[in-house]
Amino acid sequence: MPDRKKLEEQVEILRGQLEQDPPLPEEKREALEALIAKFEVQLELEPATQSPSISDDVSQAAIEFDAEHPVISGTLRNIMISLGNMGI
């Protein structure tokens, strides 16, 4: 359960960064908001029923944000670690 709590904390950090960082292009903002919505759904599920595709989505998002928004990319990488620790 500590990994689940860590994931919840990282998602909250990501939400905060979405509001604090310089304005993102609408397309990227919507992509991050959609990813956050996926996390919220995943957090409600039992680990055995969680989709591994969310890890792929996070990895892709981290790559896309790496150059222009390294702080957001770092948070996404932390989320990947949390997901991995949860076996997702």
48-64 pLDDT, tens digit each: 555 667 888 888 989 98
For the chain, what are the domain ranges? 2-85
State pTM to two decimals: 0.78
Residue with tokens 């996390």: 39
Nearest alpha carbon to residue 19 among 70, 72, 87: 72
Please give the pLDDT value at position 51.
Answer: 62
Could you give the 3-state DSSP secondary structure of residue 52? coil
